[in-house]
Amino acid sequence: MEEADERKWKGKAKTEVRGHKAEKVWPLIADFCGLSKWFPTPTCIPVEGVSGQAGCVRFCAGFKTPVDQKDKQTVNWTKQKLLYIDPTNMTLRYTITESNVGFYSYVATWRVIDCGEGSEVEWEYEVEPAQGWTLQQLNSFASSGLQVMGLRMEADLTTVDQALRLSN
* 90 has a pLDDT exceeding 90: yes
pLDDT in the model for residue 6? 58
Any alpha helices (H) in 21-134, and if so which ranges?
22-30
Mean pLDDT taken over the chain? 91
Res 69 pLDDT > 80: no
For residue 116, the SS3 value is: coil
The CATH code of the domain that includes 126 is: 3.30.530.20
Give the count of domains, the chain: 1
- pLDDT tens per residue across span 115-166: 989 999 999 999 999 888 999 999 999 999 999 999 999 999 999 989 888 8
**For position 72, what pLDDT does the model report?**
66
Range of the structural domain that residue 49 is part of? 2-167
* pLDDT confidence of residue 74: 79
Q: Which residue has the higher pLDDT, 73 or 161?
A: 161
Q: Of 43, 35, 26, which Cα lies nearest the Cα of 157?
A: 26
Percentage of the chain exceeding pLDDT 70: 94
Residue 63 confidence (pLDDT): 85
Residue 139 region, left (φ>0) first, then alpha (ψ -120 to 50), else beta?
alpha
Q: Are 121 and 29 in contact (CB under 8 A)?
A: yes
Instruction: List Cα–Cα distances, 115 to 86, 110, 126, in angstroms.
Output: 19, 16, 25
pLDDT at 64: 81
Mean pLDDT of 48-70: 88
- Give residue 67's pLDDT: 76
